[in-house]
Amino acid sequence: MNDKQLTIGWLYPTLMSTYGDRGNVICLQQRAQWRGYNVEVLPLDLQSTAADFRKIDLLVGGGAQDRQQEIVMRDLQGKKAEAVRQIIEAGIPGVFTCGAPQLLGHYYEPALGQRIEGLGLFDFVSKHPGIDARRCIGNVVFEITASRLAKELEAMLGKPAVIIGFENHGGRTYLGKVEALGKVISGYGNNGEDGMEGAFYRNAIATYSHGPVLPKNPFLADWLIQTALQQKYQTSVSLSPLDDNLAMQAREAMFKRLGVSEPVAVGKR
Ligand code: GLN
Probe residue for ligand 1, chosen from 19, 65, 112, 137 as the CB with the greatest number of ligand atoms within 8 Å: 65
Q: Which residues are catalytic?
A: 98, 210
Give me the domain span that covers residue 142.
Answer: 5-258
Cα–Cα distance for residue pair 264/269, rounded to 1 Å:
6
Rounded distance between C-alpha atoms, residue 214 and residue 60, angstroms: 11
Residue range 23-53, pLDDT digits in tens: 999 999 999 999 999 999 999 999 999 999 9
Looking from the CA of residue 135, the nearest atom of ligand 1 is 4
Q: How many domains does the chain have?
A: 1
Q: In what side-by-side order are the strands of the sheet with 162-169?
A: 162-169, 136-144, 182-186, 196-197
By percentage, how much of the chain surpasses pLDDT 70?
Answer: 98
Give domain status of residue 115, yes or no. yes
Cross-strand partners of 61: 11, 96
Q: Is 101 a domain residue?
A: yes
Residues 131-144 have pLDDT tens digits of 999 999 999 999 99
Mean pLDDT of the chain: 95
Atom number of ligand 1 nearest to Cα 63: 8
Contact 64, 10 (CB under 8 A): no
Does residue 269 belong to any structural domain of this protein?
no
User: Is 76 within a domain?
Assistant: yes
User: How far is C-alpha 24 from the chain's CA centre?
Assistant: 9
Residue 191 CA to ligand 1 centre (angstroms)? 12
Residue 55, domain CATH = 3.40.50.880
19 Cα–ligand 1 center, Å: 9
List pLDDT tens digits, range 136-171. 999 999 999 999 999 999 999 999 999 999 999 999
Return the pLDDT at 265.
74
Q: Is 135 within any annotated ligand binding site?
A: yes
Pocket of ligand 1 (CB under 6 A): 19, 63-66, 69, 98-99, 128, 168-171
Distance, CA of 199 to CA of 204 (rounded, Å): 8
Q: Is residue 24 part of a domain?
A: yes
Residue 269, Cβ neighbours under 10 Å: how many? 7
Distance of CA 258 to the CA centre of its chain: 23
Would 265 be classed as within a structural domain? no
Distance 115 CA to ligand 1 centre (A): 14
Indicate the pLDDT class of residue 79, thresholds 50, 70 and 90.
Answer: very high
Choosing from 18, 95, 168 the residue with most ligand 1 atoms within 8 A of its CB, the one to mutate for a pocket test is: 168
Task: Classify residue 156: in a domain, yes or no.
Answer: yes
Please list, in sequence order, all residues whose beta carbon lies within 8 angstroms of the beta carbon of residue 156, skipping any fewer than 6 positions away.
219, 222, 223
Residue-level pLDDT at 125 = 98
3-class state of residue 78 by DSSP? helix
